[in-house]
Amino acid sequence: MSVATSRRTSDPGTRRWMRGGVLLGLGLGGFFDGIVLHQILQWHHLLSARELPVTLDALKLNTLFDGLFHALTYVLTVAGVLLVWQGRGESGQPRPWPVFAGTLLLGWGLFNVVEGLINHQLLGLHHVRPGPHQLAYDLGFLAWGAVMIVLGRALMRPRPG
């Protein structure tokens, strides 16, 4: 690691905006999941494997937990924006775009892997798309997350110069 690289990663402002980017990625991953998979495609709700949304009361419960999930993703997103803002640097120099994109991908990938392992596999709260091939959808969700983590980490690697 070069002196410039160690200075860049040990700088509190750099660490702050990078953490903010990861939090933004977590929030964006959650919003994508909730908006696209829960609402637009209607493949699942947060509790749909435990409480099938086949009655009005069950749908209300699932919708409530979807809303709580969205509230959490909102908090993550706001926290990420605040950290990025605080870590923008006093010099006014723009932060490297590829590194920032890497933090977003890392956060989104972490969302997919953690949510996929905990909610889909361990707790069985829901599956990406229940029914035929549900394991393939769940594994695809995990693989997509893993690819984003790998790409994110690659973009975050210090570049010479």
Q: What pLDDT score does 53 carry?
A: 92
Q: Which two tokens stand for residue 91?
A: 């010099």
DSSP string, 69-121: HHHHHHHHHHHHHHHHHHTS-TT-PPPPHHHHHHHHHHHHHHHHHHHIIIIII
- CA separation for the pair 39, 45 (Å, rounded): 8
pLDDT of residue 10: 64
Number of C-beta neighbours around residue 33 at 10 A:
24
The pLDDT tens digits along the chain (161 residues) read: 333 444 445 678 888 999 999 999 999 999 999 999 999 999 999 999 999 999 999 999 999 999 999 999 999 999 999 999 988 776 666 788 999 999 999 999 999 999 999 999 999 999 999 999 999 999 999 999 999 999 999 999 977 75
